[in-house]
Amino acid sequence: MPDTATAGGFLPVLAIVLPVAGVLLSLALGGRQAERVALALMPIGLAVAVAIAVGVWRTHNVLQYLVGSWDPPLGVAFRADGLSAAMLVATALLVCGIGLFARDQFSSPERLEARAPFVFWTLLLAVWGALNAVFVGGDLFNLYVALELLTFAAVPLVSLDGRAETMAAALRYLLFALFGSILYLLGAVLFYGAYGTLDIVLLSGRIRAEPTAWAAISLMTAGLLAKAALYPFHLWLPPAHAGAPAAASAILSGLVVKAPFFLVIRLWFDIMPRMPQPAAAQVLGVLGAAAIVVGSIVALRQARLKLLIAYSTVAQIGYLFLVFPLAVKPETGHPWGTFAWTGGVLQALSHAFAKAAMFMAAGLIAEALGHDRIAGLAGIGRALPITVFAFGLGGLSLMACRPAAALARKRCCWRRQSRKASGGGL
Amino acid sequence: MSGATVYGLCSAALVGLGLFGLIVHPEPLRKILAFNLIGGGVFLLFGVVARKGAAAGFGGDPVPQALVITGLVVAFAATALAVGLLIRLSQEADVQPRSRMDSQP
């Protein structure tokens, strides 16, 4: 299976090529066309993502493309499985929504060539392409390059307004991200040195429980945690996400932090499934729990709305990492079938939508009031009813109120947790 | 002690020094330099891995060399972006903070 291209295998590649082509086209056509290029590509990209999801659903198999028909380990494979398809569709939907929202804030002026709109639309496409590359990448080094592309596209979004404080936040974000990616690369080298391949499928067949593998996967995980802003590495996130313009915050908080989380899932559930790993999963779970407590407490003490939402992201990332101790099965069998695993993925998706909605609503509130101090928000519900309603819906979704997808995931987690607790596992 | 071992130890030392610098020094420029030091160590490790592949009968494993070139380009771009941000930041700190980016060319 790992060394054949499947029908429809070109779709994952198309998901990467489309946004990248859009970036190049925007650069070639110049400032004022960037918005049109981005808006024109959004429905096409969404259609490609849906086609991938339908393809995976129908065939119950992985869509695979081998670049240049070279088999791994020499060649590079792109694979879209069910998880990738879910992330691709969610990303495409969110990018479309954020694009519609951002038309107001970043519409290009008629005659002038403005810099901020051009940069925003180009980078929106770049983030999209990099995310898609992360979701369908099948090669650890390729994923490193995709992660770096994502960082390079996301960092300028933070400092879009060019103020000194947002640039300081962007620099701090970049330094954390570089620290993370170099650790990831170090782990990838160790994997290549030990097993002679970087392909995820081949690696999962060759890996053995030995010190090299543990060192490599620990380094990669630590690097990804720095990028995902899990608790001890969360310091860069609040200033970066709160300082960015609303549309950019929605991308950063909803989508960009999900890419490293996705890769941690790939590492532990796709490469390592045959190895005993409860201890490592417990460490991730403890960090996640600490992130929930610290993030929530600090969020409650914030005086500004956007900072509050940013700290809530820190806490929600903690929830994402709770999936590891819950979904790990020391006995035989894959973790994919467990409730907790499904719950974790649902949590990632619902957080992406809810947090993007909250940031965009907060942006509208700040625009209407001229500030986003929480103490001065009284009466905003009468002035902007729909906006506050959307904000509330996002919050309810995060709290797992009834119609929200988050309810399903919290139930999944609880069920798994209570079972584990009754079995004395936790 | 073979050559590969010596280079491997060197790369470990570089990564360790860089990691120390990255964590200890508060100045961003020093952090950027420390990141490059770690990068140097990692790329050296790629060379060691390529040499180890030579044990299979080839003169050297070409894949890590291809990876090093890509890695160098990425690290160079990252450093350029970080230094660019740092320069803008110091300019912005000298001048009084302007409110919007529109005033920029």
User: Under 8 Å CB-to-CB from A412, ≥6 apart: which residues?
Assistant: A339, A340, A342, A343, A346
3-state secondary structure of A63: strand
**Is B105 contained in some domain?**
no
- Is the predicted pLDDT of residue A136 greater than 50, yes or no? yes
CB-CB contact of A320 with A347 (8 Å): yes
Q: Decide if A175 and B35 are in contact by the 8 Å CB cutoff.
A: yes
**Is B103 contained in some domain?**
no
Mean pLDDT of the A305-324 span: 89
Per-residue confidence (pLDDT) for residue A153, from 0 to 100:
93
Residues spanned by the domain of B39: 3-97
Determine the residue of chain B that is closest to A112 in CA distance: B102
B-chain residues near A115 (CB < 8 A): 101-102, 104-105
DSSP A199: B
Mean pLDDT of the A378-407 span: 73
C-alpha to C-alpha distance for A360 and A246, rounded to whole angstroms: 5
- Is the predicted pLDDT of residue A123 greater than 80, yes or no? yes
Q: Give the number of A-B residue pairs with CB atoms closer than 8 Å.
A: 98
CB-CB contact of A176 with A233 (8 Å): yes
- Is the predicted pLDDT of residue A181 greater than 50, yes or no? yes
Q: Does A67 touch chain B (CB under 8 A)?
A: no
CB-CB contact of A142 with A150 (8 Å): no
The predicted-structure confidence for A267-303, as pLDDT tens digits, reads as follows: 888 887 766 677 888 888 899 999 999 999 999 998 8
**Is B102 contained in some domain?**
no
Q: Decide if A163 and B99 are in contact by the 8 Å CB cutoff.
A: yes
| CA-wise closest residue to A180 among A211, A207, A155 | A155
Work out the angle between the directed axes of helices A140-158 and A164-195 (0-180°, nearest 10). Answer: 180
**Is B43 contained in some domain?**
yes
- SS3 breakdown of chain A: % helix, strand, coil, rounded to 5? 75, 5, 20
DSSP A236: G
The predicted-structure confidence for A34-50, as pLDDT tens digits, reads as follows: 888 888 899 999 999 99
C-alpha to C-alpha distance for A208 and B49, rounded to whole angstroms: 19
C-alpha to C-alpha distance for A130 and B10, rounded to whole angstroms: 33
Which amino acid, residue A185? L
**Is B24 contained in some domain?**
yes
Looking at the partner chain, which of B39, B85, B100 has a beta carbon nearest the beta carbon of A174? B85
Total domain count for chain B? Answer: 1
Q: Dihedral sign for Cα A402, A404, A408, A410, please.
A: negative
Per-residue confidence (pLDDT) for residue A179, from 0 to 100:
92
Look up tokens 């960037």; give the residue: A34
Per-residue confidence (pLDDT) for residue A111, from 0 to 100:
54
Per-residue confidence (pLDDT) for residue A418, from 0 to 100:
45
Structure tokens at A198: 């970087």
CB-CB contact of A90 with A49 (8 Å): no
Mean pLDDT of the A417-425 span: 38
Question: What is the least distance, in Å, from the CA of B35 to any CA of chain A?
Answer: 7
Per-residue confidence (pLDDT) for residue A408, from 0 to 100:
55
C-alpha to C-alpha distance for B20 and B31, rounded to whole angstroms: 10
Which CATH number is B47's domain given? 1.10.287.3510
The predicted-structure confidence for B9-63, as pLDDT tens digits, reads as follows: 999 999 999 999 999 988 899 999 999 999 999 999 998 888 877 666 667 788 8
Structure tokens at B19: 């990691």
Q: Does A112 touch chain B (CB under 8 A)?
A: no
Neighbouring CB atoms inside 10 A of A203's CB total: 25
- Is the predicted pLDDT of residue A404 greater than 60, yes or no? no
Structure tokens at B58: 């080839």
A-chain residues near B78 (CB < 8 A): 148, 151-152, 174, 178, 181
Q: Categorise residue A196: left if φ over 0, alpha if ψ from -120 to 50, beta otherwise.
A: left
CB-CB contact of A264 with A224 (8 Å): yes
Structure tokens at B52: 């180890």
pTM of the model: 0.88
Neighbouring CB atoms inside 10 A of A212's CB total: 14
The predicted-structure confidence for A56-115, as pLDDT tens digits, reads as follows: 888 878 888 888 788 877 788 898 888 899 999 999 999 999 998 888 777 766 655 577
Q: Does A104 touch chain B (CB under 8 A)?
A: no
Q: Dihedral sign for Cα B73, A180, A130, A16, please.
A: positive
Task: Classify residue A21 by burial, with Cβ atoms within 10 Å: 0-12, 13-18, 19+.
Answer: middle
Q: Which of the four pLDDT bands, split at 50, 70 and 90, describes residue A414?
A: low
A 189-218: CB under 8 A from B: 189-190, 192-193, 196
Per-residue confidence (pLDDT) for residue A197, from 0 to 100:
86
Q: Decide if A192 and B101 are in contact by the 8 Å CB cutoff.
A: no
C-alpha to C-alpha distance for A88 and A48, rounded to whole angstroms: 9
Neighbouring CB atoms inside 10 A of B26's CB total: 6
Per-residue confidence (pLDDT) for residue A276, from 0 to 100:
63
DSSP B104: -
DSSP B41: H
- Going from N- to C-terminal start, the domains of chain A cover 1-138
C-alpha to C-alpha distance for B8 and A417, rounded to whole angstroms: 44
- Give how far Cα A317 sits from Cα of A292, A409, A412, Å: 8, 14, 17
C-alpha to C-alpha distance for A341 and A335, rounded to whole angstroms: 7
